[in-house]
């Protein structure tokens, strides 16, 4: 069974731009969660999607948004990028709940210049 | 302060046991997890423990949970150089019909010959 895939793996953007990251969960997994990992703040929960609906949201500004498609694939979008948005963005999928065993993708490394 | 706290670094000699400690604050957490992150990779679930358990053993891994003190530990027996990685503990709290994870900052385990 293929693992969680994330594209692109690396991305360089400038301040003010927007970015879209993509995540394909493991086949059969319906819950997709997104996390931001930085040296300063550690690993922080962004949001969780299930059946095309956002089920939970972390404490991030509205510039961070996401969606999930009917095939469970998910995208997250960050608008008006700031330098502090530079981070590793991790996606994780699980069968039904974020509390089930989560399988993480390798992440997308976003650098904002 | 942070919900989940871990020491940042641990250095051990190959063949010794490693003990990574974690404290959490929410007594209602139902699951507590240990993840491993190797350089350039996402997180890999190592093991988890339900809050109604005191101990769980899985091959070289032993998890101890002290609910009274809200303390969780991960013991790795016969530590190998391949165990060098960052280890995260996480607590899962029920929210919105699912669970929201809170991660510690991670403990960098360095195994030297």
* Alpha-carbon A78 to chain mean position: 10
Residue B28: cis peptide before it, omega within 30 degrees of 0? no
- Cβ contacts of B85 within 8 Å, gap of 6 or more: B36, B37, B38, B39, B108, B109
Average pLDDT of A11-37? Answer: 96
Q: Does A103 touch chain B (CB under 8 A)?
A: yes
Inter-chain residue contact B100 with A56, CB threshold 8 Å: yes
pLDDT digits (tens, 9 = 90+) for B54-111: 999 999 999 999 999 999 999 999 999 999 999 999 988 777 777 788 899 999 999 9
* Alpha-carbon B79 to chain mean position: 15
Residue A40: Cβ within 10 Å count: 7
- Say whether pLDDT at A84 is over 80: yes
Which of the four pLDDT bands, split at 50, 70 and 90, describes residue B12? very high
Taking contacts as CB-CB distances below 8 angstroms, the residues of chain B near A105 are 42
Taking contacts as CB-CB distances below 8 angstroms, the residues of chain A near B44 are 104
Taking contacts as CB-CB distances below 8 angstroms, the residues of chain A near B100 are 45, 48, 56, 58, 98
Q: What percent of chain A has pLDDT over 70?
A: 97
The CA distance from B72 to B66, in Å, is 6
Which of the four pLDDT bands, split at 50, 70 and 90, describes residue A6? very high
Inter-chain residue contact A90 with B31, CB threshold 8 Å: no
| pLDDT, averaged across chain B | 90
List the one residue out of B4, B16, B1 whose CA is nearest residue B80. Answer: B16
Residue of chain B minimizing CA distance to A106? B42
> By three-state DSSP, how is residue A84 classified?
helix
| pLDDT, averaged across chain A | 93
Partner residue facing A42 (CB), from B41, B95, B106: B106
Taking contacts as CB-CB distances below 8 angstroms, the residues of chain B near A30 are none
List the one residue out of A100, A76, A104 whose CA is nearest residue A91. Answer: A104
Q: Does B39 touch chain A (CB under 8 A)?
A: no
């Amino acid at each position: 069974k293929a693992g969680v895939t994330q594209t692109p793996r690396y991305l360089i953007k400038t301040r003010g731009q927007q970015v879209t990251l993509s995540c394909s969960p493991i086949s059969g997994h319906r819950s997709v969660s997104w996390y931001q990992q930085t040296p300063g703040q550690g690993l922080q929960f962004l949001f969780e999607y299930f059946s095309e609906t956002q089920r939970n949201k972390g404490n991030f500004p509205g510039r961070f948004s996401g969606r999930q498609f009917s095939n469970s694939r998910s995208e997250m979008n960050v608008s008006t990028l700031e330098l502090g948005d530079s981070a590793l963005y991790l996606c994780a999928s699980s069968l039904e709940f974020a509390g089930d065993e989560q399988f993480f993708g390798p992440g997308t490394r976003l650098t904002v210049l | 302060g942070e919900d989940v706290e871990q020491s940042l670094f641990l250095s051990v000699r190959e063949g010794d046991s490693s003990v990574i400690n974690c404290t959490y604050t929410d007594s209602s957490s139902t699951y507590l997890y240990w993840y491993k992150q190797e350089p350039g990779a996402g997180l890999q679930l190592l093991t988890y423990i339900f809050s109604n358990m005191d101990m769980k053993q899985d091959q070289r891994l032993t998890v101890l949970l002290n609910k009274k003190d809200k303390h969780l530990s991960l013991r790795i027996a016969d530590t190998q150089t391949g165990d060098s990685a960052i280890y995260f503990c996480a607590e899962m709290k029920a929210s919105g019909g699912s669970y929201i994870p809170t991660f510690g900052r991670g403990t960098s385990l360095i195994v030297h010959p």
